[in-house]
Chain A
């Protein structure tokens, strides 16, 4: 299992070149670009929900929006689209440096803020839905409606009042009849008026009882209703309905539900943002790998000197192994060989593209110096041979005593050889910097040590050379000098 830190340190484009063929790199680049597009769409939607809701200043109900709200919504969508696409392009570009870090910080802050908000909104809505669907909440709602519609006085009191009112009305009718017809009513006015007064007294008593009952029941119902509403309000958003992991965070850190929800959203959205960056960097690494192979994002060759000379310089630094994978398709191999040994292009031996060779020949007329060089038809001019060519020359110079086996003289010698043989190597010497020459020199000295041509200087110390010529060769050098 590899450690993540290990992976961030090593050169991914070089790793891709070593482990994948050109076709695989192109195919993986296409897939990675599709994933990056998905990531950009996801980030856009997640941010857009929050931004649009904030800009509109209301609920996400587009059918009720006014013209102004629609305008604000489009403004929010536009801003989100610009920032999200900038984020995707920034990640895919592979830019590094302070400006890139600042730009990344800005876009990531926007993304994190809006997406965490959206994520918390989702949790909020989920908890609310779960709470509203709970049986206890439904029962509380039922009790509220029954309390609101409950009668405020008993049927006994209301019946008694009705009876008393009916009795009083009938006595009043008898009095009215006696006024119209004296003989029709047997009882005297005095008796009837007495009965009417009694009946009105009973009506008043029944009314007082009803009023008292209404007052008593109203205050009791109001208290019960208030209590039911308070319970319903608490159950409307029940914090026990959070997702189990959020409840765990809540208990673990002793925070409220909203903070636990925030922490959970940070974990999800933080990882999503990192994954977005990871996929973007994956795209950038593949593009960089193609560039190192002198290809553009479509896999076509870039015919500029800059890229033609870059690969041999880098490749020569690593034991002659490097940017050319062993499983490369034959056409790529041929193109690469054309790269590093343009003089072979002109030769019909071992080349499948005579037309291209002839064209190249026409573009680059034969150098008189190269004509004098013994041009052996090499069918396989790899980077290893590039290194070997320089190595052999330097080895001879050291064995002849012309160059001391220390880094600085060997670096100078390597520079001279590359300049002298640039036409043969097919590279531009000015593009190979001193650090690269120095690395080549160090590599040559290491190989010479393995070959026991040079040995470590036992009198090591500050200012002393690291390597000296092996004793067996010192005698030969002295002999050569004596002869010459």
Chain B
């Protein structure tokens, strides 16, 4: 209860200018954070491809027929990585998240 009361008092007494400043600051912080997250997501996608798409794909290859079944999907994962890079460069976050989601589906499937 004490905590809540203090918070109310703080909110009431604080300057509206300061409140506006804080909101803007939070927005800027989120933009900065998102920039970092985008880079992390790209690195993560490369890791996912290496560990969950390429390695299982290669492990399942035993002859020409199995190679024909699994190699295209390993390359499809690689193309998704390329598309993620392109989306990252174009700052097209919607595309980037979409490609990343499908890469994860592919990783689970492999």
Contacts and interface: CB of A to CB of B under 8 A. Distances in A.
Interface of A: 1-4, 7, 12, 15, 28, 31-32, 35-36, 38-39, 41-42, 45-46, 48-49, 59-62, 115, 118-119, 121-123, 125, 243-245, 264, 267-269, 271-272, 275-276, 278-279, 282
A125 B69 contact: yes
A107 to B, nearest CB: 16
Nearest 6 pairs of A and B residues by beta carbon = A35-B82, A42-B75, A4-B94, A275-B83, A46-B72, A271-B102
5 contacts: A7-B92, A38-B79, A60-B64, A268-B109, A279-B86
Given A267-B102, A267-B105, 16 more contacts: A2-B91, A2-B94, A4-B94, A38-B75, A45-B68, A45-B71, A46-B72, A46-B73, A46-B76, A49-B69, A62-B64, A122-B70, A125-B69, A245-B105, A272-B79, A276-B79
Interface in B91-107: 91-95, 98-99, 102, 105-106
Given A2-B92, A4-B92, A278-B83, A38 B78 contact: yes
Contacts of A118: 69, 72
Contact of B82 (A59, A243, A264, A275): A275
B91 A272 contact: no
Given A2-B93, A7-B94, A268-B102, A42 B109 contact: no
B106 A268 contact: yes
Max chain B Cβ within 10 angstroms of own Cβ: one of A48, A61, A272, A276: A272
Contact of B109 (A32, A245, A276, A279): A245
B109 A278 contact: no
Contacts of B87: 278
Question: Which of B70, B86, B91, B108 has the most CB atoms of chain A within a 10 A radius of its CB?
Answer: B86
Contact of B95 (A4, A48, A62, A123): A4
Contacts of A38: 75, 78-79, 82
A275 B99 contact: yes
A119 B108 CA distance: 14
Interface residues of B, number: 34
B105 to A, nearest CB: 6
Interface in B53-67: 64-66
Interface in B28-84: 34, 64-66, 68-73, 75-76, 78-80, 82-83
Contacts of A28: 89
Nearest to B101: A271
Contacts of A2: 91-94
A28 B108 CA distance: 31
A282 to B, nearest CB: 4
B79 A275 contact: yes
A235 B56 CA distance: 25
B86 A268 contact: no
B39 to A, nearest CB: 14
Interface of B: 34, 64-66, 68-73, 75-76, 78-80, 82-83, 85-87, 89-95, 98-99, 102, 105-106, 108-109
A272 B99 CA distance: 9
B38 to A, nearest CB: 9
A92 to B, nearest CB: 13
Contacts of A271: 80, 98-99, 102
B92 A243 contact: no
Contact of B72 (A15, A49, A62, A278): A49
Given A268-B76, A268-B102, A275-B80, A243 B91 contact: no
Given A7-B92, A7-B95, A267-B102, A272 B86 contact: no
Contact of A35 (B69, B86, B91): B86
B79 A1 contact: no
A308 to B, nearest CB: 28
A55 B8 CA distance: 76
A7 B90 contact: yes
A275 B101 CA distance: 13
A1 B76 CA distance: 26
A457 B55 CA distance: 71
A62 B63 CA distance: 11
Contacts of B69: 49, 118, 121-122, 125
Nearest to A60: B65
A28 B86 CA distance: 9
Nearest to B106: A268
A91 to B, nearest CB: 12
B85 to A, nearest CB: 7
B26 to A, nearest CB: 15
A59 B63 CA distance: 13
Contacts of A276: 79
A278 B80 contact: no
A35 B79 contact: yes
